[in-house]
Amino acid sequence: MHRGKGMKFVGDSRVPAERKPNIPKDYSEYPGKTEAFWPNFLLKEWMVGSVFLIGFLCLTVAHPSPLERIADPTDTSYVPLPDWYFLFLYQLLKYSYASGPYTVIGAIVMPGLAFGALLLAPFLDRGPERRPMKRPVAVGMMLLTLAAMIFLTWESVVTHDWEAAAEQGKIRAEVEIDKNAEGYKIAQTNTCTTCHGENLSGGAAAPSLVGTGLSAEEVAKIAKEGKGNMPPGVFKGTDEELKKLAEFIAGLKAE
């Protein structure tokens, strides 16, 4: 390129008037089968990218992203769970020397050491050797960390009650309940609301009573004999009351 004296410009700008030919560089002198990124390799990348994108879109169509019911800070029985990539940390904090009075160890010291070591890896592993077999300490530590993360994530997944988790987060239909109705008062005195909630919309231990699709007779039977987690004999009133309660519950319809 022409520089210095005698250089010509476009108008009064600093753009040189001399045009450069717009042809890709020649990489044939480079070692091996070197290829130009533009446009040869980029075209291949785009093709791989399109296949990847199609697979990704299939995933989004096949599995709609989850949405639980609106946050309710008063629900203290909710068992929280972070996104899957934080599960190993969540599990670590369950062990006795990483929780309670030792929370600092599990929450700060161990993750801090791991991340610090990762950040400073080039200064901890200083030898010129790059092959994994030739630097056993660094590679061994990384494999150990990987194994620990996989183990902790696995433990967290198998010890979590996924069905209860799905139940406690469900979006429930909101129904106006007449809390002065005789049926509701019977439900209160017989401790139905303790598990099924003040709005009878269910809780961590019991399903919603709204829109069950059961007949009054079926409701009465469950109230006396129990079902699933519910023990028999929860209902302690008279047959008259049972009938009223069953009709009230069976009459709760989701909008």
Before 39, cis peptide (omega within 30)?
yes
Residue (109 or 181) nearer to another protein, CB: 109
| Closest residue by Cα to residue 120 from 94, 138, 97 | 138
Known binding residues for heme c are 192, 195-196
* Residues 75, 11: Cα–Cα separation, whole Å: 72
Q: Smallest distance, Å, CB 229 to another protein?
A: 20
Q: Smallest distance, Å, CB 142 to another protein?
A: 6
73-88 burial code (b ≥16 CB/10 A, e <16): eeeeebeeeeeeeebb
Residue (40 or 238) nearer to another protein, CB: 40
| CB of 228 closer than 8 Å to CB of 222 | no
Q: Smallest distance, Å, CB 31 to another protein?
A: 7
Residue (5 or 130) nearer to another protein, CB: 130
Residue (39 or 251) nearer to another protein, CB: 39
Backbone φ/ψ region at 160: left (φ over 0), alpha (ψ -120 to 50), beta: beta
* Residues 237, 194: Cα–Cα separation, whole Å: 17
Q: Smallest distance, Å, CB 220 to another protein?
A: 32
Residue (26 or 240) nearer to another protein, CB: 26
Q: How many CA atoms lie within 13 A of 60 on its CB side?
A: 6
